[in-house]
Amino acid sequence: MPEALRVAGAKVEAHDDDFAQNTTDVEWLAQAGKRGWVVISKDQNIRRNPLELSAYEAAKVRGVFTKLF
């Protein structure tokens, strides 16, 4: 998905471009919020895990969670 968005002209930062694989969702969501990123993720658990959902909301991240990619 990141490459398709880049080809379409979007500026895209993939998770692995900026964060280690073992970076917790709480950590990278906070950074995504600070950077003003819109998150596109297939991780449906962020919406279901209370700690991760709280981090998502506190960071004021905008996002889309999908199973499509």
Q: Could you read off the pLDDT of 46-58 as tens digits, one per residue?
A: 888 999 999 999 9
Q: What is the CA angle 3-8-14, rounded to 5?
A: 35
Instruction: Provide the whole-model pTM.
Output: 0.82
Pick from 62, 22, 19, 58: which is nearest to 41 by CA? 62
Predicted local confidence at residue 23, as pLDDT: 96
Q: Give, to the nearest 10 degrees, the angle between helix 50-58 and helix 25-35.
A: 10
pLDDT band at residue 69 under the 50/70/90 scheme: low
Share of the chain above pLDDT 90, in %: 68
β-pair partners for 64:
40
- For residue range 1-39, list pLDDT tens digits in order: 788 989 999 999 989 999 999 999 999 999 999 999 999
Whether residue 52 contacts residue 45, with contact meaning beta carbons closer than 8 Å, is answered with yes
> Cα 7 to the chain's mean position, in Å?
20
Asked if pLDDT for residue 67 goes beyond 70, the answer is: yes
